Amino acid sequence: MMSMNIVCLDGYTLNPGDIGWEPFESMGTLTVHDRTEAGQIVDRAAGFEYALTNKTPFSAETLDKLPDLKYIGVLATGYNIVDIKAAADRGIVVTNIPIYGTDTVAQHATAMMLEMTRGVAVHNQAVQAGEWSKCEDWCFALQPIRELTGKTLGLVGIGRIGLAFARIAAAMGMKLIAYDLYWPDAQKLGDLEVEQVELDDLFAQSDVITLHCPLTPENTAMVNAQRLAMMKKTSVIINTSRGPLIDNQALADALSAGTIAGAALDVLDVEPPPADNPLLSAPNCVITPHISWYAAEARKRLMGTAATNLQAFLDGKPVNVVN
């Protein structure tokens, strides 16, 4: 068997050194670049038939300069960084990773919900700063502490991740309502009791809103000033899905005005965010740097699926093809 050469153009976020590249190294010679700038893509991918990318883009112009390329494995679920039509026109197969992070994303959303309602981090910081030591009383609270039992969780999107989060919330005694264009069947819902509602009703009724839907032209900036104004003043919104689902300025304004109680975001519309993103300085806004997917277990699953995708292509039976 001829030795095959594989290039990964931006491997650092998937594997900063803690999980290894064995699934690909067992298949051939693997060249890994931590990051690749736009001007380096053609030089680094030239001569390779098999390329892996996470966020390094393959435009039609780039593909024109890579005549040897047969396969692009996207190391993520979203594949908009590849011009898939141009790839198809050139006979290049593009695959993605449809399922790998269901539980880790749902658990991160849970952590964010608990942070918004319990204030673990802000109280730890206060204790570390000496505020408890100087306190006249044996306890103190810097924000309202809320119990989730009996509260309403509104899920915008109730696919795999939404359902996983719903099960966690149900175990906490929360009431579940949801909006989805593609409602899951009874088998997927199992014994979960979820009320199907319209989107505006979800915003009005929920104590916690969580976004678990793909980004489409229709739902870009769906969280806008009008919908934020429908929310309870005590409610919070969580986004572990896609940043552009939220109008940044509208959310920052709502937080500043006290229209809603808080927001917890793992994604923003531009990543890394520019320093002038209004949410970076908005009150009662917790932001993590797109790490809901980042558990080592989930990254190992992603790596394994990516290698399986490539092996299936080599066997003439490609899977998870997006073009």
* Domains present along the chain, CATH in parentheses: 4-100+296-314 (3.40.50.720), 102-287 (3.40.50.720)
Which of 75, 82, 120, 7 lies closest to 293 in space, CA to CA?
A: 75
Q: What is the pTM of this model?
A: 0.92
What string of DSSP letters covers 163-223? HHHHHHHHHTT-EEEEE-SSPPPHHHHTT--EEE--HHHHHHH-SEEEE-----TTTTT-B
Torsion, Cα 290 202 158 110, to 10 degrees, reads 40
Per-residue pLDDT of the chain (323 residues; tens, 9 = 90+): 446 899 999 999 999 999 999 999 999 999 999 999 999 999 999 999 999 999 999 999 999 999 999 999 999 998 999 999 999 999 999 999 999 999 999 999 999 999 999 999 999 999 999 999 999 999 999 999 999 999 999 999 999 999 999 999 999 999 999 999 999 999 999 999 999 999 999 999 999 999 999 899 999 999 999 999 999 999 999 999 999 999 999 999 999 999 999 999 999 999 999 999 999 999 999 999 999 999 999 999 999 999 999 999 999 999 999 99
Active site residues: 242, 271, 290
Enumerate residues 6+ apart whose C-beta is below 8 A from 96: 74, 76, 77, 78, 79, 320, 322
Q: What is residue 255's predicted lDDT score, i.e. its pLDDT?
A: 98
Q: What is residue 3's predicted lDDT score, i.e. its pLDDT?
A: 65
pLDDT tens-digit series, residues 34-71: 999 999 999 999 999 999 999 999 999 999 999 999 99
Is the omega angle on the peptide bond into residue 274 within 30 degrees of 0, that is, cis?
no
